[in-house]
Chain A
Amino acid sequence: MTPSPTVLANPHTERMRRADALTVIYPHLAGDDVIVVTIMGAVAVELFALGHRPSFFYLEHAMGLASSMGLGIALSLPRARVVVIDGDGSLLMNLGTLSTLARYRPANLTHVVFDNESLLSVGGFPTATSTGTDLAGIATASGVPSVVRADTLDVFSGAFATALASDDLTTIVAKVAAIGPTSFAMDLPLLENRFQFWRQCRKLAARAAMDGP
């Protein structure tokens, strides 16, 4: 039996770069009624580098729970559009979240999964998606009503805009290159992010209350 490689044999540098994918959807993420929850690591750093907003929350630990947080926010703020930016390593740690998301089917939640087939931030160890586990297939089989595979910038950009505007739960799985930033430092203490984000959610809730039912 051949042992699995300890680091990803192929980082697939020909694939879409996550940083580019974030760049094309950033104008949507910066929308007034949009709330973003990301996992830790490369994706948080790359989104932060594009321009932090008080509506962005970077879950700097608790791997697997970003999508659960997104569900809690989506149920609490039905007028907000909630975007969860997940990864293959995080989602594999909490596959049950897909069944819970599908069960409650929040219309205002868009779940993006950047699949680089590795735990990049800790040295590029390959995840099970590198050996064939199909997260889009698992999402579909879990009952997520709309699942899109988006492996090019054009397809990803279109799928994201459609999902954000739609009134149904969507999971978008995007295969991306296993490359990340040179530094994972972010000039934003996590509690500052937490309280700033909480205040921003309060503003959105107050605005929704003023708008009436």
Chain B
Amino acid sequence: MPVSTANSRVIFDALKAVDIRLVSALPETWLVHLIRMSEDDPEMTLVRLAKEEEGVGISAGAHLAGTKSAMLMQNHGFLASINGIVSCAQLYKIPLLMLISYRGDLGELDPWQTQGGLATLPVLRALGIPTYPLADPATVPKMIRQAQALAESALTPVALLLTRDLMWEEPS
């Protein structure tokens, strides 16, 4: 499977480095390695969800109880979580680090991913959520560190878009 194991490791190590200790996730192709790494690491608690919006509540509870957490989800999972993001995370000023696989953008071959791809950035903007693409593995640790710093100081959700350039290795 051409999902990048090496770049998944860079992302996972960067999450560990900022003391993320709980990850909630719903599987999607680009996230398989990250989910497996979260499951295999005894210092990380992985919560597998039925629907992504649950993860907003879990992260809010974890934050109030002193645990740093992150959500791993596809952009369609983000779209499915919006009320939770607005009326739990934003209303209650919860720092919520969201790693969102950015399907349906440049190079997408699956037609069913494209409508959500088109909607993702406009919806994030409409919600006023600081949003940054992750594309270059060399900058990932710093971007994750800075995103978590902003989430905690501004008490806001922050979205990091996991792009095809970062997550997918085209077969040569």
Q: A residues near B, CB below 8 A? A: 35, 37, 57, 59-62, 64-77, 80, 94, 96-97, 99-100, 103-104, 190-191, 194, 197-198, 201-202, 205
Q: B residues near A, CB below 8 A? A: 22, 45, 47-51, 53-67, 69, 83-84, 87-88, 91-93
Closest chain-A Cβ to B44's Cβ sits at a distance in Å of 12
B50 engages A73 (CB within 8 Å): no
**Chain B contacts of A64 at CB under 8 A?**
53, 57
**Chain B contacts of A74 at CB under 8 A?**
61
Q: A72-B61, A73-B61 are in contact. Are A190 and B54 (CB under 8 A)?
A: no
Residue of B nearest to A65 (CB): B57
**Chain A contacts of B48 at CB under 8 A?**
100, 103
Closest chain-A Cβ to B152's Cβ sits at a distance in Å of 12
Q: How far is the CA of A104 from the CA of B23 in the complex (A)?
A: 13
Residue of A nearest to B24 (CB): A72
**Chain B contacts of A202 at CB under 8 A?**
66
A69 engages B51 (CB within 8 Å): no
A76 engages B22 (CB within 8 Å): yes
Closest chain-A Cβ to B69's Cβ sits at a distance in Å of 7
Residue of A nearest to B47 (CB): A104
A201 engages B47 (CB within 8 Å): no
Q: How far is the CA of A104 from the CA of B54 in the complex (A)?
A: 13
Please tell me which one of the listed residues B45, B55, B62 contacts residue A73 in the complex, with CB atoms under 8 A apart. Answer: B62
Q: A59-B88, A62-B91, A194-B93 are in contact. Are A100 and B45 (CB under 8 A)?
A: no
A65 engages B60 (CB within 8 Å): yes
**Chain A contacts of B61 at CB under 8 A?**
37, 68-74, 76
**Chain A contacts of B88 at CB under 8 A?**
59, 61-62, 65, 69
**Chain B contacts of A67 at CB under 8 A?**
57
B22 engages A72 (CB within 8 Å): yes
**Chain A contacts of B63 at CB under 8 A?**
72, 198
Residue of B nearest to A67 (CB): B57
Q: A62-B84, A71-B58, A99-B50 are in contact. Are A76 and B67 (CB under 8 A)?
A: yes
**Chain A contacts of B62 at CB under 8 A?**
72-73, 75-76
**Chain B contacts of A62 at CB under 8 A?**
56-57, 83-84, 87-88, 91
Residue of A nearest to B50 (CB): A96
